[in-house]
Amino acid sequence: MAQKSLSISDNEKLVDELASTFKDKVLSVDWTTPRRVYIKIVTHAHRDLIKWIREKFPNSSYLVSIDTIDFIDKGEFEIRYKMQVVHNNIKLTLTIAMNVARDYPRVKTITDIVPGAVLYERENYEMFGIIFEEHPNLAKFFLPETWPEGIYPLRKDVSVIRKKPKVW
Amino acid sequence: MKNMSSLISLVVGPQHPALHEPERFVFKIEGETIVDVEPRLGYVHRGIEKLMETKEHTEAIYLAERVCGICNVAHTLSFGEAIEEAAGIEVPSRAKYLRVIIHELNRIHSHLLLLGVAAELMGFETLFMLIWRDREIVMKLVEDLTGNRVISSLVIVGGVSRDISLELIHKMKKHLPKLYERVKQYKKMMEEDPTFTARTVNVGYLSKSKMLELGGVGPTARGSSVKMDVRDFDPYEAYDEIPFNVAVYDEGDSWARFMVRVDEVLEAINIILYALDHLPQGPIRVIPPRAFEGEGFGRVEAPRGEVFHHTIWRGESKPWRHRIRTPTYANIPAVCEMFKGYHLADAPVILGSIDPCFSCTDRLYVVDAKTGKEKVIPYWYIRKKYWKR
């Protein structure tokens, strides 16, 4: 029976190395499970971290997704870049999260480092209105062409639930 | 793009007869060769992520099931995993094994469906009929296990809704080895038959480094020697106790992507037989709480690649945010790169090899290089003008 052994120390070593390389940029490191880590960074530092990971593991890492969460009560968006590294004993999912001000949501694109981020960035633009600077084609992808400008459906202050008409 | 005046934009989609997920691709073609591709999605955008925020998890799991009809088990499983992690509940071990069984049955059904459709795309209709005949074995087993043929509704938050009977275990042990032998025979056919190899070998090549850059997942990535499988690197349910191999091919062409799927069918049958032999006794579900606070990340290897549901709960009975990432969406940048440099006639096979759907040609854009204006010509006009009898 092939038991999947996991040496947690390798995962921890990688995260320690990442945290020591970007001492002034990493705010906190949280382990959710031995294979998943949540790294909070300062705003606009995402490019350096993703570049570091992609250059360290060019043949064993990829971008899983870019997500946004609308914390309307704090007045900010949290953008999360999920990266996967599978290299020898390292089996690690990194969630690199940063806060962006809700009234001025502008971040630099990562499409020059990871070309596969094109669609994720377009999705976050049309659903949350986050503007990814220097993106090659920041156009609508999912929503119809007739969708009104300036309404970003996944924001918390936008309600898309239709009210039932009063019958009597 | 040497001669701009010969560049034609060919619109493929969004309507298509075969599978789910309408997509539109605008192929920029020069003669017969594809130079560039521009995708457009969203024809079946239903706002599920927003809708999830208005539903409790008991209702939302049925919504999650309807994200994709074919890999419905992957979505419920991933949704269940996310909610269970957020609520901090542990699923009983019998339920974990039953989840593995239905997940792998779903994988076999999905892969056989695609291999059949792919054979039909290539004009190899005998293979299509044979594969779809054997797919019925799996469909019947799924029906016996869950009561439904396709949308199974077996996985619920906290466990599974039905237990497996002893007769069904015997039935599975009787029929699945039969399917194994037949799939092995089809594997031989796909390796040797010129009808299949001539259309797929060296068609739609993508290298390993390019695949990782573009973030391809699932069998699409494993066809380019990327050894990434969620079951392997981040095991969920009972996968850390079940031995299996990750199918990887180094060729990087459409043939390799189809062969990964054939190998995965064989591997899935082995996994099911192992799980049936080692099925633990005990309860099949626990009752989840209604409202809780926490964050869950449910990650599952669906037939098409990696699916994840990420859910954030802040103490209410409804999630604050629910994020879903589906595998075909991740594979779109990769498939756009695969098209480049190949003939238009290869487009269905390349598109089929990532397991979405091929769309029929609906209309043509002819780009005038001098004025740069695009003129829409409907399909009936071209047929009338050029297909004179």
Query: Distance (Å, rounded) from C-alpha B116 to C-alpha B110?
Result: 10
Kindly state whether B325 is in contact with chain A, defined as any CB-CB distance less than 8 angstroms.
Answer: yes
Mean pLDDT of A61-82: 90
* Domain count within chain B: 2
CB contact under 8 A, B42 and A142: yes
For the question of an ipTM over 0.90, the answer is no
Helix (H) or strand (E) holding A41: strand A36-41
Residues B108 and B143 in one domain: yes
Residues B318 and B372 in one domain: no
Q: Which CATH superfamily is domain A8-105 in?
A: NADH:ubiquinone oxidoreductase Nqo5 subunit (3.30.460.80)
* Per-residue buried b or exposed e for B84-118, using 16+ beta carbons within 10 Å of the residue's own CB: bbbbebebbbbbbbbbbbbbbbbbbbbbbbbbbbb
In this structure, what CATH number is given to the domain that contains residue B154?
1.10.645.10
Q: What's the whole-number average pLDDT of chain A?
A: 85
Kindly state whether A3 is in contact with chain B, defined as any CB-CB distance less than 8 angstroms.
Answer: yes
Domain ranges of chain A: 8-105
Contacts of A35 in chain B (CB under 8 A): 233-234
Q: Which of B283, B309, B325 is the last residue of a domain?
A: B325
In this structure, what CATH number is given to the domain that contains residue B366?
3.30.390
**Which has more pLDDT, B10 or A8?**
B10
pLDDT at B371: 38
Residues B22 and B143 in one domain: no
User: Which domain range does residue B88 map to?
Assistant: 48-203+273-325
Query: How many residues are present in chain B?
Result: 389
Residues B129 and B191 in one domain: yes
Query: Distance (Å, rounded) from C-alpha B62 to C-alpha B45?
Result: 17
pLDDT at B39: 78
DSSP 3-state assignment of A53? Answer: helix
Residues B139 and B35 in one domain: no
Confidence of residue A119 (pLDDT cuts 50, 70, 90): confident
CB contact under 8 A, A119 and B232: no
Residues B35 and B71 in one domain: no
| Single pTM value for the model | 0.87
Distance from CA of B388 to the nearest CA of A (A): 36
CB contact under 8 A, A1 and B241: yes
Residues B381 and B305 in one domain: no
Best mutation target among B43, B325, B326 (most A Cβ atoms within 10 Å) is B325
pLDDT < 50 stretches in chain B: 1, 17-18, 357-383, 386-389
Kindly state whether A72 is in contact with chain B, defined as any CB-CB distance less than 8 angstroms.
Answer: no
Kindly state whether A31 is in contact with chain B, defined as any CB-CB distance less than 8 angstroms.
Answer: no
Q: Out of A3, A116, A119, whose CB is closest to B213?
A: A116
Provide the 8-state DSSP code for A117.
Answer: G
